[in-house]
A = this chain, B = another copy of it.
């Protein structure tokens, strides 16, 4: 048996794969060279997870990697009908981003509750302006997306005394089905998007949805930009249908300097960084190396994407 070939869709800084020396051959490709290199590869590591190149370069029925791993939680940039129909196994980086994203969301919720953006504005003007802030304990959150990210957000907010409802595709145990979303959202203080991007979730946060929310509600999206109809959100904020919002993900990333979103009142914009705490790239590299060792030993891989659903299904654990 020849030493397996790992093809890395590359970006700086490169993954540390030194632990695999002698057990794998490693080649690097970019968006331009990917299609030519794919047929020879046994494994594809999608290290540059911001690229759409895999979908475009996937060889269809031809020779192809038996395993594709993406160093991201979402797999929406990757999946195409040909890949979904193939016998290739696709895995994601479940386990790396959940806690950082949940902390980030808790930080945004507290920043809104405590009126922190306004405090920073007033500081720049040297103005002492006492305001009443909001109590977080006892407030209500709806987290849309019942995967590991949504569950971790629920856990942290629950620890801060927030009453959290988790909404998934289908109702099960303590998870609400999507049919409960409108009712729950209409009485929520915090609505948090943490769903995978699928045909069912694309554009789900639109004018109709924002019209359901309380004027005091805040909306936060850390899932995928395409969950939100950005123009509708901007309009909802301008008309004060809701009190504020934070987006960490956008239809197009990076957001253009000319985008009108930067100036929408009450909208906090961050550059898709919620999951990226110091050392995150190392953790992604270590995760791939561990998974490679299991794969090379013929063991079952964790974090396998359900090609029909478009994400890694979560076990129905008690929450």
Contact = CB atoms under 8 A, between A and B. Distances in A.
Interface of A: 99-100, 103-104, 106-108, 110-111, 113-114, 116-117, 119-120, 122-123, 126-137, 156, 159-161, 253-255, 257-259, 262, 268-273, 276-280
A276 B132 contact: yes
A276 to B, nearest CB: 5
Contact of A103 (B123, B135, B269, B276): B135
Copy count, this protein chain:
2
Given A133-B277, A254-B128, A114 B123 contact: no
A104 B111 contact: no
Contact of A269 (B99, B123, B133, B258): B123
A104 B114 contact: yes
A117 to B, nearest CB: 6
A117 B114 contact: no
B127 A116 contact: no
A116 B128 CA distance: 21
Contacts of A280: 132
Given A103-B135, A130-B272, A277-B133, A120 B120 contact: yes
A111 B103 contact: no
Nearest to A277: B135
A135 B100 contact: yes
B160 A255 contact: no
Given A107-B113, A111-B111, A135-B278, 19 more contacts: A99-B137, A99-B161, A103-B113, A103-B114, A103-B137, A104-B133, A106-B110, A107-B116, A108-B116, A110-B111, A119-B268, A119-B269, A119-B270, A123-B262, A126-B257, A126-B259, A130-B272, A132-B273, A159-B160
17 contacts: A99-B135, A99-B161, A103-B136, A103-B137, A103-B160, A104-B133, A107-B107, A107-B110, A110-B110, A111-B111, A119-B268, A128-B253, A131-B271, A132-B273, A132-B277, A159-B159, A159-B160
Contacts of A123: 262, 268-270
Contacts of A136: 103
Contacts of A126: 257-259, 262
B110 A103 contact: yes
A120 B108 CA distance: 12
A113 B100 CA distance: 10
A164 to B, nearest CB: 13
B257 A131 contact: no
Could you say which of A122, A126, A161, A278 has the most chain B C-beta atoms within 10 Å of its C-beta? Answer: A126
Contacts of A128: 253-255, 257, 271
